[in-house]
Amino acid sequence: MKSIVILISGRGSNMLALLEAKLPCRVAAVISNRANAGGLGIAKAHGIPTAVIEHRDYADRESFDAALARTIDTFDPDYVVLAGFMRILTAGFVSRYHGRLVNIHPSLLPAYSGLNTHARALHDGVKIHGCTVHFVSSDLDHGPIIIQAALPVLPEDTEQTLAARVLHEEHHIYPQAIRWLCTGKIELNEPGQVVFRGSKQSSFTLFSPALE
């Protein structure tokens, strides 16, 4: 059975979605860069080992990433899963876990990388928004895409309502992506593309606003 280590910084809602999905893998540990992260208590309640590597204890990103990697490697995971981990990782760290480091982002990448994705989408008047699970690369929020969920932006949406609806979809697609990884359904090929084994792509179109 494959194993994963989950990295969090806050309440851990995506982490909880992964735990509740009963995935065909072992969660070896949950690690946070903040001792007060709410998700640590959730992990402990599920009997999962936890660790804290406070980023503020390190002089620079390189030394923090080195300490984080040493802790991750003690659990010998097959994959490292970022679930609301609010740190930009160095190129050396990303290279160390190439093809094994996965993230979820609240936009339809490559649109709206970085922060404040929902506010930016509303400001630009986009009609379709969503979320993306992707392999992490040294180019922030631009690694190979595994799965996306798209939803319409409603006329009455605020940043808060849009964020809540996108988060709901995050909780669906992240477990699916990790399930695919842990069962060997996908792989990252040499050109850096995600390849699916034996799956068929459904075809439909989402219109927003709807056609009349």
Q: How far is CA 200 from the centre of its chain?
A: 23
* Structural tokens at position 35: 């001792």
Q: Which residues, at least 6 apart from 189, have a Cβ–Cβ distance to it below 8 Å?
A: 195
* Structural tokens at position 118: 């929902």
State the residue for tokens 């936009």. Answer: 107
Q: What angle do helix axes 117-124 and 159-182 make, rounded to 10 degrees?
A: 120
Pairwise CA distance, residues 182 & 177, whole Å: 9
Q: How far is CA 129 from the centre of its chain?
A: 17
Q: Is 129 a residue of the active site?
A: no
Please give the single-letter amino acid code of residue 52. V
Instruction: Say whether the peptide bond before residue 106 is cis (omega within 30 degrees of 0).
Output: no
CA angle at 177 for the pair 171 and 180, rounded to the nearest 5°? 140
The catalytic position among 46, 55, 98, 105 is 105
Domains located in the chain, CATH noted: 2-196 (3.40.50.170)
Pairwise CA distance, residues 11 & 183, whole Å: 28
Torsion, Cα 96 101 65 110, to 10 degrees, reads 110
Q: How far is CA 52 from the centre of its chain?
A: 19
CA distances for 192 relative to 28, 89, 130, 135, angstroms:
27, 19, 23, 9
pTM: 0.96
Residues in the chain: 212
From first to last of its 212 residues, the chain has per-residue pLDDT tens of 999 999 999 999 999 999 999 999 999 999 999 999 999 999 999 999 999 999 999 999 999 999 999 999 999 999 999 999 999 999 999 999 999 999 999 999 999 999 999 999 999 999 999 999 999 999 999 999 999 999 999 999 999 999 999 999 999 999 999 999 999 999 888 888 999 987 677 788 989 999 98
Q: Which residues, at least 6 apart from 178, have a Cβ–Cβ distance to it below 8 Å?
A: 4, 18, 21, 23, 25, 79, 81, 102
